[in-house]
Amino acid sequence: MSFSISGKTAIVTGAANGVGLAIGRHFVQMGANVVFADMDEKKLCHEMGEDAQKEENVHTFSGDLRKKLTIANLLSATIDAFDRVDILVNASRQVMTTDPLDPDDNTVEELLQQNTMTALRVSQAVARRMIKQADGGTSGSLGSIVNLSSIAARRAHPELLAYSVSSAALDQMTRAMAVALAPNGIRVNAVAFGSVMSASLKGSLKDHDTMREAIVDSTPLQRIASPGEVSDAVQYLASDASAFVTGQIITVDGGRTLIDPAAVSAH
């Protein structure tokens, strides 16, 4: 099986920043047609303005994907630009801190809407299009949906309660949608990652050597991942190399979820 995604059309949400932006750019380099979608139009134009003008296989779309009309418009823009959609990467994510004992804290509802429900609604719309364009004529993989999750789904950090809950819900949604869409030849998987050296993390770690050391010490491979290492995992799930893989949560964390945080602290 081939790891190639050349000639395929991908929608990448959350594509104006961080890992989503890295995945979109990686897909372009691999020869895919890519629609970079994000709510932050200014940031999207700043990051992709020149590329969108130079590259025929690049298209940008801005809008709030929590709204059904925006999702419909995203799909229409993709079909207008490239005639079809083969890959969806749900990379639109938000992190918020939570006060677990505050009854007025609504971060759980907010992140379930942003991180889980938005991915579900976009997946439903794209899956319907994948089924329609296949027209029942071929067997095998007719499309791939990849959700970006987090190892927070498996770790208990009270201040990240909402993020952890939304990530865990996304993982279970991935499994359920994989079973639901399997008869249509559409695969649904997720990549759960830990700390990635994105622009935002670089900013957070600037002049904070203690924080950097804490992350490295809690990671068996003793380093922080590059965005490209997540992009490679997503490409695998998007390509025919993973044609018999569905409903799986691939962890890219350098082994961080394999060790006891308390043991690291004690050490």
CATH superfamily entry for domain 9-266: NAD(P)-binding Rossmann-like Domain (3.40.50.720)
d(CA 121, CA 242) in angstroms, rounded, equals 24
The tens-digit pLDDT sequence of the chain (267 residues) is 589 999 999 999 999 988 999 999 999 999 999 999 999 999 999 998 765 657 789 999 999 999 999 999 999 999 999 999 999 999 998 888 898 999 998 999 999 999 999 999 999 999 999 999 987 555 556 899 999 999 888 888 888 899 999 999 999 999 999 999 999 999 999 999 876 655 554 445 555 556 666 666 666 676 666 777 889 999 999 999 999 999 999 998 877 777 766 555 544
- Domain ranges across the chain: 9-266
With CA atoms as reference, report the closest residue to 166 among 134, 192, 140, 133: 192
Collapsing DSSP states into helix, strand and coil, what is residue 206? coil
d(CA 224, CA 217) in angstroms, rounded, equals 10
Phi, psi of 56 (to 5 degrees): -70, -20
d(CA 9, CA 14) in angstroms, rounded, equals 17
Structure tokens at 118: 């938005």
DSSP class of residue 151?
G
- Taking only the tens place, the pLDDT of each residue in 101-124 is 999 989 999 999 999 999 999 999
Burial class (CB in 10 A: 0-12, 13-18, 19+), 71: buried
Task: Please give the biggest Cα pair distance in the chain.
Answer: 59
Say whether pTM exceeds 0.85.
yes
Burial class (CB in 10 A: 0-12, 13-18, 19+), 72: exposed
